[in-house]
Structure 1
């Protein structure tokens, strides 16, 4: 009880202090200083402290708060405390240091990121990094001045600049009037920076389709909790990551979910928005403003979108000097322990290959995660999140097929359109409204499904016979067809991660790719038109591989090679009749080999195709078991009886 009483006596609210006046922002800054200098908050304590403020170091407020703190440790009314800014000018600094040593008590303030030399560490008894004002301190300030604690007012005290708080909370004005003025005249922030104290949207546990990136985010949330609790140091926290992927894959939504899961503010910065600020100086100023905002709210997440817009400093054009200056400024902000302590930089881009290599070095944005379009399960999960509806089994296949290649944003738009349709009809929102927004579909006839099953079975059998990778599964992806076509079947292989391929391996690849049309030719005496046309079609793929063998890898008639870029090989094939003939011969030979394999395994082919139509999917083990069971017994001439061979 005595200790609590002593603590009250030393508080600035225990006795009237005429100068400086105790306003709400001064009290808020006092709470920060008192927390930082708790061991020295006792009567007649002697110390010299350097406080490095990790947000806007607004001296008119902080100097008043420091004066109240120091005067609270002395009973003399004529006491004049030493409170100074840690100046980089040697002459000014020497004068201030002499005064501090004479009084044996002083508080110096340093700005965020200001580099302190050895002289500072030798002079000061303590150098403290003062974190930004906290929610608890803001709530205490409101209670101290008899004001109700509301979420909106706490947010104002945490987000407003010190200068605006100082202007609003004047000593002659009631605190309730001051906060009302701040409510009416909210600060207009820079267009390149937006703060979300409590990000809306899902948490990481509600996100789907992000693979290892989700695990990284969950680990970061645990590390941040340990950092805020003082169990680990900042250098043990991953402070930079690069996310790449096609537009609409949810990179921005992931940043919001990460901030919400970690319980930290999200600051949004866009490279294009920084660039729009104007000339190089203005561009750099806008970029620094985003980082400063993040440091003021640390621990926080700074999301930098379109980071590939920076480009690469190796590019040679008229704007090269401007580009080098911008990237150098960005690297300076990324580098260093103190420079962005408490700030996790999450950067996103569509084309990571265009990014300057220096940005992706360890300690900057060293970790890189690629985000692809959501798979079948992820798309259904995204639909459930946005609509709250579990699709009927009759609708699942149509949704899965119709949304193939959809991003999370497109699924959200689909749900929005379905809800609008329900409102227009004055009906309760249901799965039928979602299905109604999908592309039209029709049931595939049995003969069509049979031809697809034969095609996929052909790929699988040839792969097993030539030892191509590890067969994982064979599927009929869908029993329905959309108006503009869709993939109905598929065969999946697991390939070795590290392998050196010879000409034989490439020829096996061609044979397996031709296995589908080889099976169609054996069963139906012709193959269908789906084997060519698109970039990923079977005949297009083998044509590229065969051209690569002959002209790009030195595995054909000559060791002389050309640039193996696809466009270059296509040009050579189109303009060199001899090369085109050799490519044809390779494909024709492997086509015959694939057909021979299918003819020898016809019984296995028929069983695989039939079971595939019934079950829609077969595992690699199932297919291998069928092939092994149907192998024809062979008779070796080397083991014929002597009487037969005579």
Structure 2
């Protein structure tokens, strides 16, 4: 109550009988202590002022707003229905007008919000609020007439504000609320301890993730050296961005990484943070995840859906919100000392949507792209989930039928196979796995020979123009109802070199080689070489468009920098360019057919081997081509030199 002589209210009101203090819980009183200490010089009855309280961390709007309202009701004799408490936001004009009209107001500036110069000038006082302290907790316990036990003090200081707000309700006494909070905290600790036992997969069980697994092994060694004091935290790779399509195994990789590193893992999610509510609640949830990781350091903090955090370059109506979120994330990521012992592994589907500032040095400065697993990797994933080793025949069917499958899709296939075995009352085996595969149709021999000739043509022309051929694969099976690639040839230049027009023309020739081989052997070519964006003829056409129309290697030196998706539009609206592209393709097709005609024995030899064995290594391909290759002798006459 105010003192009639000095005009001041009591400094520390331990036991208040005033109606203003009805329903003031322990956490609200702790927040009140922080506010009262900050505004002590302005603590005069009916003194008009507008204050801004700046929070750097440890902020929860419902509690601090209620605490500030209690303070304001004592100073300004306001009624329950009157409020002088506001929160700075990106549209504060209405609140400013009300505060200006009354000459009174307390504005809360949440973490991540940057006060403008006008807002600072508007405020009579701008003061930073210190985080809750043990003394605030002791004061709250004394006011509630509870023993000042240091374990209770630690509990009130360490628990997040939202949990304190949920535990301390008007309908509960403070002792009952403390007991509920203590039991729930003990339960969560037991769950966390069980999670930290490192059960589950390790990096050795990860298949098809290549560089990510190698990086993980190096991190495990670095963390072991850090824990033993052999290296400092600056020597640890403490931030990485994982990207890849949904279901590829980013979350599973993070779990395996933690198990291999023998450190706890804390799971965070941008969508879960967003569910907390407004910007301040979102930032609070984010900071809570980082704090949990710091408390358990060394640890791994896994943040899922990182690309939904937003970018500061957007200019829509949510720009202010995204700016605040990104600023909060930068604050948590900045500096090794700030998060020493915490390795941040962020996962996303679209890395281009991540704000560039989050990927700078010292933050998430390493990017690992996870690709869909290849055939052997898919077999490894299957073995991890089932323990079953497929026979060579079943493995061939499995690899082809699951082409393009992610680890999650293989896991789903295993669940379906186990369910089928249970329904049939059988022991789970490879038969049930094969039965769950998409329906396969065996290709007839004449269709298979077309595919073999097509892929052999690619390999032959690639070899003749100086590319390194690393293997040929064709499939004897077709997935019913799907348009799938039935053959593949891997070839590349043997060394890095400057890309000249000849380089591009040779690549176009390799793209056209499958068509040329079919035309030489069968007199025509099938539609599998065209139609999709990745088909041979489509890729050759786009490359020819680039040569003739965009990089100055055609009939003009004029250069354009269009998106590859615009190539078709360029040809459609520029008949002259379309004619030039047609002429280049026609010329390269003639050159390619000439090569195949000269080396027809080598082509036929490759086809016959592929009809028996659908997979050939690079060494086998080169051996067949060299042993069946015809030497080419130039019949051009030497030009006579004449003198004068």
Distance in 1 between residues matched to 2:264 and 2:597, nearest whole Å: 65
Provide the secondary structure at the position in 1 that maps to 2:561.
Answer: coil
In structure 2, do the counterparts of structure 1 residues 369 and 523 end up closer, same or farther at CA, with 3 Å as the change threshold?
same
Distance in 1 of aligned mates of 2:253 and 2:222: 18
**For residues 503-522 of structure 1, what are the structure 2 equivalents within 5 Å?**
503-522=501-520
Deviation of 1:189 (Å):
7.5
Deviation (angstroms), 1:226: 2.1
Give the alignment's TM-score, normalised by structure 1. 0.68
Specify the alignment match of 1:313 in structure 2.
312
- Seen in structure 2, the aligned counterparts of structure 1 residues 546 and 189 have a Cα distance that, compared at 3 Å, is farther
Q: Structure 2 CA distance, aligned partners of 1:615 and 1:241?
A: 42
Cα contact 2:460–2:596 (8 A) shared by 1:
yes
CA contact (8 A) 1:515 1:594 kept: yes
Change (3 A) 1:162 1:272: closer
How far did 1:456 drift? 0.9
Whole-Å separation in 2 of the counterparts to 1:637 and 1:560: 38
Quote the Cα distance in structure 2 between the aligned partners of 1:636 and 1:509.
24
Deviation string 1:570-596 (CA, Å, 9 cap, x unpaired) is 111122222211111111111111111
CA contact (8 A) 2:545 2:581 kept: yes
Q: Is the 8 A contact 1:598 1:605 kept in 2?
A: yes
Contact 1:194/1:268 (8 A) holds in 2: no
Partner Cα distance (2:368, 2:489) in 1: 27
Q: Summarize deviations over 1:381-411 as a string: whole Å, max 9, x none.
A: 1111111211222211111111110010111
Residue 398 in 1 paired to residue 409 in 2? no
Rounded to whole Å, the distance in 2 between the matches of 1:576 and 1:188 is 71
Q: How does 1:343-354 map to 2 (within 5 A)?
A: 343-354=342-353
Asked if the contact 2:242–2:347 (Cα under 8 Å) also holds between the matched residues in 1, the reply is yes
Match of 2:573 in 1: 575
Partner of residue 588, structure 1: 586
1:242·1:347 contact (CA, 8 Å) conserved in 2?
A: yes
Query: Is 2:554 aligned against 1:548?
Result: no
1:482 maps to which of 476, 479, 490: 479
Contact 2:458 2:511 (8 Å CA) reproduced: yes
| Alignment TM-score, normalising by the size of structure 2 | 0.68
Give the superposition deviation at 1:638.
8.1
Q: 1:585 to 1:635 in 2, by over 3 A?
A: closer
> Equivalent residue of 2:404, what SS?
coil
User: Equivalents in 2 of 1:345, 1:456: separation in Å?
Assistant: 45
Q: CA deviation at 1:316?
A: 2.5
User: Residues 167-246 of structure 1 correspond to what in structure 2 (within 5 A)?
Assistant: 185=184, 196-246=195-245
Matches within 5 A, 1:148-167: none
Residue 327 of structure 1 aligns with which residue? 326
| Structure 2 residue ranges without an equivalent (≥5) | 1-57, 59-154, 168-177, 639-644
Deviates most, 320-329 or 394-403: 320-329
Match of residue 615, structure 1, among 609, 613, 623: 613
Shifted more, 229-238 versus 389-398: the winner is 229-238
Report SS of the residue matched to 1:449: helix
Contact 2:300 2:342 in 1 (8 A): yes
Pairwise CA distance, 1:425 = 1.2
Tell me the equivalent position of 2:460: 461
- Deviations along 1:544-565, whole A, 9 cap, x unmatched? 1111112221222212233321
Q: How far apart, in 2, do the equivalents of 1:277 and 1:267 lie?
A: 18
Q: Following the alignment from structure 1 to structure 2, what is the Cα–Cα distance between the partners of residues 638 and 567? A: 43
Partner of 2:563: 565
Aligned-pair distance for 1:180?
Answer: 11
Cross-structure match for 1:276: 275
- Offset, 1:639: 9.2
Match of 2:600 among 568, 587, 602: 602
SS in 1 for 2:379: helix
Change (3 A) 1:221 1:624: closer
Q: Which residue of 1 aligns with 2:148?
A: none
Displacement, 1:621?
3.5
- Residues in 2 aligned to 1:349 and 1:512: alpha-carbon distance in whole angstroms: 36
Instruction: Determine helix, strand or coil for the equivalent of 2:488.
Output: strand
Shift of the alpha carbon at 1:291? 0.4
| In structure 1, distance between residues paired with 2:586 and 2:258 | 57
Q: Counterparts of 2:464 and 2:203 in 1: how far apart (Å)?
A: 44
Contact 1:441 1:482 in 2 (8 A): yes
Instruction: Show the 5 A alignment for 1:397-416.
Output: 397-416=396-415
SS in 2 for 1:514: helix
Partner SS state of residue 302, structure 1: strand
Partner deviation per Cα, 1:488-529 (whole Å, 9 max, x = no partner): 221101336743212221111111110011011001011111
Give the 3 Å change call, closer, same or farther, for CA 622–280 of structure 1 in structure 2: same
Tell me: CA distance 1:429–1:562, structure 2 relative to 1, closer, same or farther (3 Å). Answer: same
Residue 299 of structure 1: aligned partner: 298
Give the Cα–Cα distance (whole angstroms) in 2 for the partners of residues 633 and 497 of structure 1. Answer: 25
Q: 1:634 to 1:275 in 2, by over 3 A?
A: closer
Distance apart, 1:314 and its partner CA: 2.2
SS, match of residue 263 in structure 2: coil
C-alpha distance in structure 1 between counterparts of 2:506 and 2:580, whole Å: 17
Unaligned runs of 5+ in 1: 1-55, 57-156, 169-178, 641-646
What's the offset of the Cα at 1:183? 9.5
C-alpha deviations, 1:148-170, integer Å up to 9, x for none?
xxxxxxxxx9xx959999xx9xx
Q: Is the 8 A contact 2:605 2:628 kept in 1?
A: no
Partner of residue 385, structure 2: 386
Q: Which moved further from structure 2: 500-509 or 413-422?
A: 500-509
> Following TM superposition, by how much is the alpha carbon of 1:457 offset from its aligned partner in structure 2, in angstroms?
1.0
Aligned-partner Cα distance in 1 for 2:512–2:505: 11
**CA distance in structure 2 between the partners assigned to 1:405 and 1:638 by the alignment:** 50
SS at the partner of 1:253?
helix
- Say whether the 8 Å CA contact 2:263–2:299 is kept in structure 1: yes
Distance 2:599 2:407 in 1: 43
- Matches of 2:460 and 2:342, distance apart in 1: 54
CA contact (8 A) 1:196 1:267 kept: no
Q: Structure 2 CA distance, aligned partners of 1:424 and 1:235?
A: 55
2 CA distance for matches of 1:551 and 1:459?
A: 26
TM-aligned CA distance change 1:312 to 1:181, over 3 Å = closer
Distance 2:432 2:630 in 1: 54
Judge which range, 330-339 or 430-439, deviates more: 330-339
2:521 corresponds to which residue? 523
Q: How many residues align?
A: 468
Q: Which runs of 4+ in 1 moved over 6 A?
A: 162-165, 179-184, 187-190
The Cα offsets for residues 263-319 of structure 1, whole Å up to 9 and x where unpaired, read as: 211111111221232222222111101101111111111001111112332233232
Q: Could you report, residue by residue, the CA deviation over 1:412-440 in whole angstroms, capped at 9, with x for unpaired residues?
A: 01000111111111111111111111111
